[in-house]
Structure 1
Amino acid sequence: MTIGFIGLGSQGGPMAQRLIEAGHPVMLWARRPESLAPYHDSGATFADSVTALGAACAIVAVCVVDDAGVEAICADLIPAMASGGVIIIHSTIHPRTCTRLADQAAARGISLVDAPVSGGGGGAAAGTLTVMLGGDADVVAKITPLLRAFAGTIVHLGDVGAGQNAKLINNALMAAHMALAHNALEAADAIGVDRAALAELVKVSSGRSFGFDVYARQPSVGAFAHGAKLLAKDVALLGEVMGDAPSFAVLRDTARPYLDLVAHSAAA
């Protein structure tokens, strides 16, 4: 059973590589031919179009950047795949995009599962990603052995869209934790506590979080510009899902001043 993979960026590339190294037959397609160069001696095969990849593969994973990219890929992929196929969306996008595409796929006898991931390129390369799944339980069971090639934790959260909802909440919480870390270390400066020493203390104390660790190792506020841009996108998406729910407002209002500060510092 050939697995198609589309989206060979900093996270998708290592995920595809792990599938290849696990012995799965993998077919790749990339919009830019140079993205395929690292895989020429890997044992993977290559498609010259999304349509050709879809026609050749029973399962296709998509790991592109945004909703527009996923929709463009699926516009060619869904008509090309045979009934019984499975599309796995690893991108972090709006849950409604996943449910809409799942309906289009179902009309052709194809299943769609949303499976956003957490852990970055390093986690993908190490095989320790967290995968958040939304979709039919039988389909999830079918693809889980494949996901183990790059995942350390795999959680099925509900129907299509549930994985995206979980990822958006996770990323909003990450943004809030980084905002709290920023303010905690600013507070240290304000009252004369050695900032670097406090950072080391918190890393082994009850105030620790993954977000604090990430913030503390940034050389400057603006250095996190790329990550903050992605977190800001996901906070905004969660806002579209939840509206003005009080629980979202707390996450948003905690995270937003820090995310705005990073964007301003990077642009300065």
Structure 2
Amino acid sequence: MRAGGYDLIVWARRPETLEPFVAEGAVAAASVAELGVMADHVGICVVDDADVAEICDQLLQVMRPGSLLAIHSTILPESCEMLAARCTEAGINFLDAPVSGGGGAAAAGTLTVMCGGECEAFEQAKPVFETFAGTLVHLGDAGAGQCAKIVNNALMAANMGLAHAALDAAEMLGIDRDAAKELIKASSGRSFAFEVYARLPHPTAFAHGAALLSKDVDLLRASLGKSQIATELDMASGAFLNAAMGEQF
């Protein structure tokens, strides 16, 4: 399978998820190490820092000098700084390149890709990223992409939290909730986050997305420490994220 003009090699913890790609001609690697040996450009998209560390510990032992490692997961910026240093020692180019846009944008090839790393690594990765990116930005050194992603997602969470509070306020004032949704979508209070929230039959319908946003808000809090800015974003998003994940106060 040639994806965007490139031969595609795939690996996943759940082999059944690879079946559609293998059916189209992709090569399934038997292990992470085999993937690292075979590929010149490796993109990782797993859940958190621990998962990225586990995968990279295996890859960095076998990837060839001059190859490139791209982290599409959303993790701590400091984790990417440490990975970049390890890659430099091994002669491997490194980028943190978290993405935004969800499954629809991935299928359409219009993801936003936020990159941190050396200019040389960015130029090397750019032709591959352009096969699935609508917006592709180099933001600075290793970790910069992660910083941008967690700020973006914390803002998304805060905006959804404000949408949650605004519609509760409308109901308290005697306004029909559905009518308020339609009004705000056509008025100055609208936003992408509000439109996402307005489509939800109940906050728990966003449970999976809320768990990911909550993780990213936690990453921002860890990166900023006891900052008033982090506190404000956390407070704006907290009630909605807890409601979406079914947590009780």
Query: SS where residue 88 of structure 1 aligns?
Result: strand
**Corresponding position: 1:168 with 2:150:** yes
RMSD value over aligned CA atoms?
Answer: 1.6
For the residues of structure 1 that align with 2:211 and 2:13, how far apart are their CA atoms?
Answer: 23
- 2:116 alignment partner in structure 1: 134
Query: SS where residue 47 of structure 2 aligns?
Result: coil
After superposing the two structures, state which structure 1 stretch, 110-119 or 24-33, moved more.
Answer: 24-33
Amino acid aligned to 1:152: G
Percent of aligned positions with the same letter in both sequences? 51
Query: SS where residue 83 of structure 1 aligns?
Result: coil
For the residues of structure 1 that align with 2:125 and 2:87, how far apart are their CA atoms?
Answer: 17
For the residues of structure 2 that align with 1:249 and 1:30, how far apart are their CA atoms?
Answer: 36
Q: Quick check: 2:203–2:240 contact (8 Å CA) kept in 1?
A: no
Query: SS where residue 165 of structure 1 aligns?
Result: helix
For the residues of structure 2 that align with 1:23 and 1:212, how far apart are their CA atoms?
Answer: 38
Amino acid aligned to 2:193: G
Q: CA deviation at 1:32?
A: 2.3
Q: Quick check: 2:67–2:93 contact (8 Å CA) kept in 1?
A: yes
- 2:64 alignment partner in structure 1: 82
Amino acid aligned to 1:54: G
For the residues of structure 2 that align with 1:227 and 1:48, how far apart are their CA atoms?
Answer: 30
- 1:261 alignment partner in structure 2: 243
- 2:39 alignment partner in structure 1: 57
CA deviation map 1:167-205 (0-9, x unaligned): 000111011000100111111111122221221122222
Q: CA deviation at 1:143?
A: 1.0
Query: SS where residue 43 of structure 1 aligns?
Result: coil
For the residues of structure 2 that align with 1:27 and 1:240, how far apart are their CA atoms?
Answer: 35
- 2:196 alignment partner in structure 1: 214
Amino acid aligned to 2:71: I
TM-score under structure 2 length normalisation: 0.95
TM-score under structure 1 length normalisation: 0.89
For the residues of structure 2 that align with 1:258 and 1:57, how far apart are their CA atoms?
Answer: 42
- 1:29 alignment partner in structure 2: 11
For the residues of structure 1 that align with 2:236 and 2:22, how far apart are their CA atoms?
Answer: 46
Q: CA deviation at 1:20?
A: 4.1
After superposing the two structures, state which structure 1 stretch, 191-200 or 102-111, moved more.
Answer: 191-200
For the residues of structure 1 that align with 2:159 and 2:119, how far apart are their CA atoms?
Answer: 32
Amino acid aligned to 2:47: V
Query: SS where residue 164 of structure 1 aligns?
Result: helix
For the residues of structure 2 that align with 1:170 and 1:184, how far apart are their CA atoms?
Answer: 21
Q: Select the residue among 97, 106, 112 that pairs with 2:88.
A: 106
Q: Select the residue among 175, 182, 189 that pairs with 1:193.
A: 175
Query: SS where residue 40 of structure 1 aligns?
Result: helix
- 1:4 alignment partner in structure 2: none
Amino acid aligned to 1:224: F
- 1:47 alignment partner in structure 2: 29
Query: SS where residue 149 of structure 1 aligns?
Result: coil
Query: SS where residue 79 of structure 1 aligns?
Result: coil
Amino acid aligned to 2:14: R
Amino acid aligned to 2:197: Y
Summarize the Cα distance change of 1:53–1:98 in structure 2 as closer, same or farther, 3 Å threshold.
same
For the residues of structure 2 that align with 1:27 and 1:67, how far apart are their CA atoms?
Answer: 23
Q: Select the residue among 211, 228, 232 that pairs with 1:246.
A: 228
Aligned length: 249
- 1:227 alignment partner in structure 2: 209
Amino acid aligned to 1:238: L
